Amino acid sequence: MIPTPTYLQFHLVFSLPVLAALWHLAPRYDERRRQRAAAGIAILVAIAYAYTTPWIAYMIRRGAWSYADGAVVVRALSIPLGEYLYFAIQTLVVAFALHRLGFDPTFREGDFAYAPRIAGVAVGVAMVPVGLWLCFRDPSLLYLGGLIAWVGPVLALQWAVGGGYLARTPRTWLTATLLPAAYFWVVDRIAIEMGTWRIAPEFTTGVAVLGLPIEEMAFFVSAGVMAVNGLVLFEWVADWNDRRSVIPASVEKPTGPAPSDPTAPDPDATDD
């Protein structure tokens, strides 16, 4: 019988190798683009820790998921060290996959269109009360409702900023979201089967695909789309700022003295 792997062993086998492979396959940008991409990734990792930690801690304390005896070495705020590593690893995997697939962050006219921005904000804002209502309606909806309420504010903010850009580039962010999510679905199912962690059936709907609860599937999609949209919008905003700060040569003010009008009378001339 194979012993239950610890959370850190899970990362060594399933997470870190794919992260290293994607890093190796990452495109070689010029220095400016490389610095901009690195800044976006660093900011997204920091946001992932700040925004995800309270939600994960709450869900663990409620018992939505738990871990096998001996699978966790260190905890902080009820969260295992391996879970903290997952915050960064998933964000980095999604980021490298996004850059490997490629995307164009160029700002275009119409990217500030009101219709997609308003629609995105409306959906994101509505997700919060809907998610909270589900959480308190029935214990089996805790995970699903909590996830919906957690994602809503971020989607609302992202679409408020760049809804027009996101609306015209759906293939980019959908592909970069779903491909890593599919990988995480597989390895998450393996970890559950091996007993490293357990999803509480009393806090889930009981609907599963090949043994993987739909809440887990939705989590990886949600976390992925928030990371992808954050990364593409970071570079898109930077491009918009670059274009906004450039003053066209045609409207630049002259720096030298103004040329004189040859037809104007000479003020120093005297009449004979």
Residue 249 located in a structural domain: no
- In whole angstroms, what is the distance from residue 15 CA to residue 86 CA? 8
State the pLDDT at residue 201.
Answer: 93
Beta strand residue intervals within the chain, DSSP E: 65-67, 75-76, 79-80, 197-199, 208-209, 212-213
Tens-place pLDDT, residues 191-201: 999 989 999 99
Count of residues making up the chain: 272
Residue 17 located in a structural domain: yes
Average of per-residue pLDDT values in the chain: 89
- With beta carbons less than 8 A apart as the criterion, state whether 218 and 144 touch: yes
State the pLDDT at residue 249.
Answer: 46
Tens-place pLDDT, residues 104-136: 999 998 899 999 999 999 999 999 999 999 999
State the pLDDT at residue 245.
Answer: 77
Work out the end-to-end distance of the chain between its first and last CA atoms, rounded to an integer number of angstroms.
Answer: 119
Residue 260 located in a structural domain: no
Per the structure, the complete domain to which residue 69 belongs is given by 7-242
- In whole angstroms, what is the distance from residue 46 CA to residue 43 CA? 5
Residue labelled with tokens 């904000």: 121
For the chain, 272 residues long, the average pLDDT of each consecutive 10-residue run is: 81 94 91 92 95 94 88 86 93 95 91 94 97 94 96 97 94 93 95 91 93 95 96 94 69 52 51 46
State the pLDDT at residue 91.
Answer: 95
State the pLDDT at residue 272.
Answer: 43
Sign for the pseudo-dihedral over CA of 243, 235, 52, 177? positive
Residue 266 located in a structural domain: no
Residue 111 located in a structural domain: yes
State the pLDDT at residue 250.
Answer: 45
Residue 117 located in a structural domain: yes
State the pLDDT at residue 69.
Answer: 84
- In whole angstroms, what is the distance from residue 199 CA to residue 66 CA? 7
Number of domains in the chain: 1
Tens-place pLDDT, residues 79-90: 999 999 999 999
Residue 261 located in a structural domain: no
- In whole angstroms, what is the distance from residue 47 CA to residue 144 CA? 22
pTM: 0.86
